[in-house]
Structure 1
Amino acid sequence: MPATSFLGTAKGRRIAYHKSEGQGPCVVFLGGLKSDMEGTKAVHLEAWAKARGQAFLRFDYSGHGESSGTFEEGCIGDWHEDTLAAVQELTEGEIVPVGSSMGGWQALLLAREMPERIKGMVTIAAAPDFTEDGYWANFSEAQKAELASRGYVELPSDYMEPYHISKRMIEDGRRHLVLRSPLFLPFKTRCLQGTADTAVSTETALRLMDHATCPDMRLTLVKDADHRFSDAACLKLIENAVLDVLGGA
């Protein structure tokens, strides 16, 4: 296993990454909330890319994995800055973002920032605007009061330890919403979603499809697949989706 490399950013963060050289466009894996670049999907896709001779990048947002900082201090905007730094400093030419869950939101923010760099996009259980539509919209009055007084609340997860959700994350999330204003995706976009996902609903996937303006956007629903989307059949679907937006090369 190659040693982890680190990128120092203009914001003073130390971002851990693995980059595989190869032909472009570079496939860039964007992980989910509290996940890291050692996850099943990221590592599997890296091996697939290497076998093809395709350039590939995976990295940890600040407060995740081997990167600097703590999760509790972070927010969507911080991780967007990390993503921009990784793409700008570690890749050249066209890229194919593959965004999982919160990484899907990050991919959409990337599309808004630099559409000219994107050859195509793949999302896996994309969770755009989840801080507002998932967290804030479902907070009880008691939780909202706790957020205001304590600065954070803890929420249970079906997939890992409880999430520490800060007031800063909620407030910052509102500055990065993508489903409240025009969203242009001027490239092939393939969205994958499991019907048994308890973290991101099929309604979210359909809302994204309905909201975005895109010349070639398709949603694949996989019956009984959960949020991990990491069994052999799901991993093959991810490979095929990436190959599709690359142009079948």
Structure 2
Amino acid sequence: MPDITDMPNDLPPPEHHDIGHGAEHRDIAYRHRPATNNAKPGLFWLGGFKSDMDGSKALAIDDYARVNGLSFTRFDYSGHGQSGGDFLDGTISRWLEEAEAIVKATANTGEKRIVIGSSMGAWIALLLAQKLRRSDDVSVHGLVLIAPAVDMTADLMWDKMPDAVRATLMQDGQIEKPSEYSDDPYILTRDLIEDGRQHLFGADIMEMGCPVHILQGGLDTDVPPSHALKLASQLPLDDVVLSMIPGGDHRLSRPEDLQRLTRSIDTLLI
């Protein structure tokens, strides 16, 4: 796989899709690469919390799609990247609604997609796969989940907060959390935490109805390896492959990590 710095500059231009009405209106930016090989499923990317559609993993998948003639769609959640909206209005419900709208807007009826989600995007990928099982518009052919932050608003946020921080969040409506990836802190809102409770899988057994590949960094401190192991144990009805990457961190964006990612997509295309 070529280094992403050597990729040709032929990225699909940003397009826009309107979602919601009135105060709920959001202008969602996305990039869509049409297929030249219609015999294979397309690819659909879901990024993480505070990430955008032009990150290194998304760019690597775009190049993979170009080389293999596959369709590939990626977008920015509202309040992220090139999309409109205020990040502080963001909730799992809103971002899931946007994911469903974009995948349906860019796919032909009955088209198969491999959904690839990173961190929070992996949680949304699982929720999206469940919704699409009840739809005739698009079917999920497989899932690739990278450092899956399933139930993150509870397990990785609320449950880890000291009581005093929880009290501040509920009283003030938001708190600041230092970020390892930016000089600016994350702002976590009460709405994000409370809305997330509607979408928790908890300890329930899940069924996605498709193969699931999980890529997890052994050195990930944001989403610990035990979180991925728990998820794999909750999917006994699906074909699940869990790849634990000993030297990998949360980003899994090293060249060797990107190669593992595209190999996972390869196996789902067979």
Once the 2 structures are TM-superposed, how far is the Cα of residue 156 of structure 1 from its aligned partner? 1.5
Pairing 1:137-216 to 2, within 5 Å after superposition: 137-160=159-182, 161-216=184-239
C-alpha separation in 1, matches of 2:153 and 2:247: 25
C-alpha separation in 2, matches of 1:232 and 1:166: 34
Once the 2 structures are TM-superposed, how far is the Cα of residue 13 of structure 1 from its aligned partner? 1.3
Aligned to 1:246: 269
C-alpha separation in 1, matches of 2:121 and 2:238: 22
The answer to whether the aligner puts 1:110 opposite 2:128 as a matched pair is yes
2:52 to 36, 57, 64: 36
What is the TM-score of this pair, normalised by structure 1? 0.96
Paired residue type of 1:187:
C
The answer to whether the aligner puts 1:229 opposite 2:239 as a matched pair is no
C-alpha separation in 2, matches of 1:155 and 1:167: 13
What is the TM-score of this pair, normalised by structure 2? 0.88
Aligned to 1:70: 86
The answer to whether the aligner puts 1:4 opposite 2:22 as a matched pair is no
Aligned length: 247
* 8 A Cα contact 1:188 1:214, kept in partner: no
Structure 1's consecutive aligned runs of 4 or more residues displaced over 4 angstroms after TM superposition are none
* 8 A Cα contact 2:12 2:33, kept in partner: no
C-alpha separation in 1, matches of 2:76 and 2:98: 9
Once the 2 structures are TM-superposed, how far is the Cα of residue 115 of structure 1 from its aligned partner? 2.8
**Once the two structures are superposed, what CA deviation does each residue of 1:163-216 show, in whole Å capped at 9, x if it has no partner?**
100000000000011234331121111000001111110010001001123331
Pairing 1:14-93 to 2, within 5 Å after superposition: 14-22=27-35, 23=38, 24-92=40-108, 93=111
* 8 A Cα contact 2:12 2:32, kept in partner: no
C-alpha separation in 2, matches of 1:234 and 1:214: 27
1:122 to 113, 119, 144: 144
Unaligned runs of 5+ in 1: none
Once the 2 structures are TM-superposed, how far is the Cα of residue 89 of structure 1 from its aligned partner? 1.1
Give the percent of matched residue pairs that are identical in Structure 1 and Structure 2: 36
